[in-house]
Structure 1
Amino acid sequence: MCGIAGQVGRDPRTIQGRYAAYCAMQQTLARRGPDQRGMFISGRAALIHARLAVVDLENGLQPMQLDWQGETYVLVYNGELYNTPELRAALLHRGHRFAGHSDTEVLLHAFAEWGESCTAMCNGIFAFAVWQVNAGRLFLARDRCGVKPLFYTLTEQSLIFGSEIKTLLAHPAVPPRVDAAGLAEVLLLGPGRTPGCGVFCGVEELLPGQYAIYEADTARLTLHTYWRLEDHEHPDDFAATARKVRELVTDAIERQLVSDVPVAAFLSGGLDSSLISAIADANFAAQGKQLQTFSVGYRDNKKYFHATKFQPGADAPYIRKMNDFLHARHHW
Structure 2
Amino acid sequence: MCGFTGWIDWTDDLTKQYSILEKMTETLAARGPDASGTWISPNCALGHRRLSVIDPVGGAQPMVRTAGDDPFVIVYNGELYNAPELKRELEGRGRQFLTTCDTEVLLVAFMEWGPSCVEKLNGIFAFAIWDSAEHKLFLARDRLGVKPLFISRQLGRFVFGSEPKALLAHPSVKPEIGPEGLAEIFIVGPARTPGNGVYRDITELLPGHCAVVSRAGVSVTQYWKLESRPHTDDAAATAAQVGELLRDTVERQLVSDVPLCTLLSGGLDSSALTALAVRYYERTGQGAVHTFSVDYVDNDKHFKAHDFQPNADAPWIARMSSYLHTVHHPVTFDTPELVNALREAMLARDLPGMADVDASLLLFCREIKKEATVALSGEAADEIFGGYPWFHREDAMNAGTFPWSLAAGMRAELLAEDVAAWIRPLDYLGDRYLDAIGEVPRLAGEDDAARRMREMSYLNITRFMPTLLDRKDRMSMAVGLEVRVPYCDHRLVDYVFNIPWEIKTAGEREKGILRHSLEGVLPSDVLYRKKSPYPKTHNPSYLGAVRQKLLEVLSDGTSPLLPLINVKKIRQLAESDTASSNLPWFGQLMSGPQLFAYLLQVDMWLRHYKVAVR
The bucket for the TM-score relative to the shorter chain is: over 0.9
Tell me the distance in 2 between the aligned counterparts of 1:329 and 1:286.
18
Q: Report whether the alignment pairs 1:257 with 2:254.
A: yes
Aligned to 2:92: 93
Could you tell me how far 1:296 is from its partner in structure 2? Answer: 1.7
Aligned to 1:324: 322
Could you tell me how far 1:12 is from its partner in structure 2? Answer: 4.1
DSSP-derived class of the 1:295 partner: strand
Aligned to 1:49: 48
DSSP-derived class of the 1:66 partner: strand
Tell me the distance in 2 between the aligned counterparts of 1:97 and 1:304.
60
Instruction: Map Cα deviations across residues 139-185 of structure 1 (whole Å, 9 max, x no partner).
Output: 00001111111111122221000111121111111011111111111
Could you tell me how far 1:70 is from its partner in structure 2? Answer: 5.3
Contact 1:285-1:327 at 8 Å conserved across structures:
no
Tell me the distance in 2 between the aligned counterparts of 1:25 and 1:190.
27
Contact 2:305-2:311 at 8 Å conserved across structures:
yes
Could you tell me how far 1:242 is from its partner in structure 2? Answer: 1.0
Q: Report whether the alignment pairs 1:246 with 2:247.
A: no
Could you tell me how far 1:20 is from its partner in structure 2? Answer: 2.6
Could you tell me how far 1:192 is from its partner in structure 2? Answer: 2.5
After superposition, the Cα gap between the structure-2 partners of 1:226 and 1:85, relative to the gap in structure 1 and judged at 3 Å, is same
Tell me the distance in 1 between the aligned counterparts of 2:137 and 2:54.
26
Gaps of 5+ in 1: none
Contact 2:174-2:201 at 8 Å conserved across structures:
no
Aligned to 2:102: 103
Aligned to 2:182: 183
Query: What pairs up with 1:129-144 in 2 under 5 angstroms?
Result: 129-144=128-143
After superposition, the Cα gap between the structure-2 partners of 1:230 and 1:70, relative to the gap in structure 1 and judged at 3 Å, is farther
Q: Report whether the alignment pairs 1:221 with 2:221.
A: no
DSSP-derived class of the 1:308 partner: coil
Amino acid at match of 1:155: Q
Could you tell me how far 1:111 is from its partner in structure 2? Answer: 0.3
TM norm structure 1: 0.96
Instruction: Map Cα deviations across residues 179-237 of structure 1 (whole Å, 9 max, x no partner).
Output: 1111111111223311111111121111111000000x33x000101111101111111
Could you tell me how far 1:89 is from its partner in structure 2? Answer: 0.5
Select between 61-70 and 48-57 the one with higher mean Cα deviation.
Answer: 61-70
Select between 79-88 and 151-160 the one with higher mean Cα deviation.
Answer: 151-160
Tell me the distance in 2 between the aligned counterparts of 1:201 and 1:212.
20
Instruction: Map Cα deviations across residues 18-54 of structure 1 (whole Å, 9 max, x no partner).
Output: 2232222222212211111111112211111111110
DSSP-derived class of the 1:296 partner: strand
Q: Tell me how large the CA RMSD over aligned residues is.
A: 1.2
Aligned to 1:292: 290
Q: Report whether the alignment pairs 1:282 with 2:279.
A: yes
DSSP-derived class of the 2:301 partner: helix
Amino acid at match of 1:227: W
Aligned to 1:145: 144
Contact 2:141-2:205 at 8 Å conserved across structures:
yes
Tell me the distance in 1 between the aligned counterparts of 2:55 and 2:89.
20
Tell me the distance in 2 between the aligned counterparts of 1:327 and 1:286.
15
Tell me the distance in 2 between the aligned counterparts of 1:68 and 1:130.
14
Amino acid at match of 1:328: T
| Count of residue pairs brought into register by the alignment | 329
Select between 281-290 and 134-143 the one with higher mean Cα deviation.
Answer: 281-290
Q: Report whether the alignment pairs 1:23 with 2:22.
A: yes
Tell me the distance in 1 between the aligned counterparts of 2:61 and 2:143.
23
DSSP-derived class of the 1:221 partner: strand
Tell me the distance in 1 between the aligned counterparts of 2:294 and 2:18.
41
Q: Which of the residues 225, 231, 236 maps onto 1:234? A: 231
Contact 1:281-1:326 at 8 Å conserved across structures:
yes
Please identify the structure whose Cα radius of gyration is greater: 2
Which structure is higher in helix share?
A: 2
Higher-RCO chain (CA-CA 8 Å, sequence separation at least 6)? 2
Aligned to 2:2: 2
Instruction: Map Cα deviations across residues 64-85 of structure 1 (whole Å, 9 max, x no partner).
Output: 0011255321000001111111
Tell me the distance in 2 between the aligned counterparts of 1:315 and 1:286.
29
Could you tell me how far 1:260 is from its partner in structure 2? Answer: 0.4
Instruction: Map Cα deviations across residues 300-332 of structure 1 (whole Å, 9 max, x no partner).
Output: 111222222111111101101101210321112
Query: What pairs up with 1:78-89 in 2 under 5 angstroms?
Result: 78-89=77-88
Q: Which of the residues 285, 288, 301 maps onto 2:299? A: 301
After superposition, the Cα gap between the structure-2 partners of 1:70 and 1:94, relative to the gap in structure 1 and judged at 3 Å, is farther
Contact 1:49-1:63 at 8 Å conserved across structures:
yes
DSSP-derived class of the 1:92 partner: helix
Amino acid at match of 1:197: N
Select between 65-74 and 241-250 the one with higher mean Cα deviation.
Answer: 65-74
Amino acid at match of 1:317: P
